[in-house]
């Protein structure tokens, strides 16, 4: 398996005229509402989710952050020839034991790494423990009871799509929140930003992250629902898991007041017409501070908005 020797055939055709009619001219525009962001309708119906938690500095779930560290470190070891005889295919999974909301210990680490046919499993396991695990768990160490499963199926010589053919959209959980938050079911990859499966999910993450960063909640899940061909969302919902400084209903109202959730506005505000999407193919959609939807720039606005909102409620 050599990922640099593939021949790529690109077959792209125009979008369905029926869908284009709703995307290019939103329902609001067809009803005579003139607005610079009201022209682009959502490219599909559905609910998208964004999530953030303060248990890590990345504001992502700890098991996901640790798994990402592992795969990034394995790539470093392969590219830098720190570990000999490993190949590009692989994955990692970390199971954390919690007491309530507090992470207590690492229960299990599962790592699968493609390797050369002559590399023994014993050598591979030693290399991974010495060159990967100790570096990745320095701030949340393993203990004597942590179960380490390195290539638990045995040999992993054949890798890549030739060995296990897949398609885009199959890794929607590991590429978002590691199964620790809700997902609307639509793949993010392979879609332009008029498709809210992608742009809406990025916006929902952006909002949730800024809510947590501003201290309005310790963890937060934002849900935004769209109808195809309509610019404005049909529903906005927030769950703070009883960690919010204000009620979930108030947070939802604040989101609708502060953030423009129409696809055209999301595309502009998050600069989603830029050629950034190839970087999301590795390590997921929320793992890089270079992504615009990972910016933390609304915390002051959110704090002020909460204060104004509470004052308005008190006056009424």
Tens digit of pLDDT per residue, the chain (316 long)?
677 777 888 888 888 888 888 888 888 888 888 888 888 999 899 999 999 999 999 999 999 999 999 999 999 999 999 999 999 999 999 999 999 999 999 999 999 999 999 999 999 999 999 999 999 998 899 999 999 999 999 999 988 877 876 666 778 999 999 999 999 999 998 899 999 999 999 999 999 999 999 999 999 999 999 999 999 999 999 999 999 999 999 999 999 988 999 999 999 999 999 878 989 988 999 989 899 999 998 655 777 777 777 777 777 6
- Statement to judge: residues 190 and 297 lie in one domain: yes
Q: Check whether residue 185 and residue 289 sit in a common domain.
A: yes
Same domain? For 297 and 181 the reply is yes
Cα gap 156→266, rounded to integer Å: 42
Total domains in the fold of the chain:
2
Same structural domain for residues 67 and 53? no
Establish if 226 belongs to a structural domain: yes
pTM: 0.92
Q: Do 296 and 199 fall within a single domain?
A: yes
Query: 105 is in which domain, residue-wise?
Result: 62-150
130 and 114 in a common domain: yes
């Amino acid at each position: 398996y050599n990922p640099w020797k593939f021949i790529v055939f690109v077959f792209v055709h125009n979008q369905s005229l029926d869908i284009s009619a709703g995307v290019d001219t939103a329902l609001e525009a067809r009803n005579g509402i003139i607005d610079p962001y009201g022209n682009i309708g959502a490219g599909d119906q559905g609910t998208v989710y964004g999530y953030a938690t303060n248990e890590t500095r990345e504001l992502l779930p700890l098991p996901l952050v640790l798994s990402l560290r592992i795969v990034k470190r394995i790539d470093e070891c392969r590219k830098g020839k720190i570990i000999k005889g490993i190949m590009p295919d692989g994955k990692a999974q970390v199971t954390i034991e919690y007491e309530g909301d507090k992470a207590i210990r690492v229960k299990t680490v599962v790592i699968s790494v493609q390797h050369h046919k002559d590399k023994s499993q014993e050598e591979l396991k030693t290399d991974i423990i010495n060159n990967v695990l100790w570096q990745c768990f320095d701030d949340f160490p393993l203990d004597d009871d942590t179960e380490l499963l390195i290539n638990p199926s045995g040999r992993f010589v054949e890798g890549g799509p030739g060995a296990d053919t897949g398609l885009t959209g199959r890794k929607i959980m590991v590429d978002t929140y590691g199964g620790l938050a809700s997902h609307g079911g639509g793949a993010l990859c392979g879609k332009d930003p008029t498709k809210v499966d992608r742009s809406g999910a990025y916006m929902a993450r952006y909002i949730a992250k800024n809510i947590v960063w501003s201290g309005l909640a310790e963890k937060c899940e934002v849900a935004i629902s769209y109808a195809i061909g309509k610019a404005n969302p049909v529903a906005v919902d927030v769950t703070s898991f009883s960690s919010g400084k204000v009620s979930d209903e108030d947070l939802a109202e604040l989101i609708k007041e502060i953030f423009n959730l129409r696809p055209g506005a999301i595309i502009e505000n998050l600069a989603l017409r830029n050629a950034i999407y190839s970087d999301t193919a590795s390590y997921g959609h929320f793992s890089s501070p270079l992504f615009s939807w990972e910016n933390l720039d609304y915390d002051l606005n959110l704090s002020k908005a909460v204060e104004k909102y509470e004052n308005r409620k008190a006056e009424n």
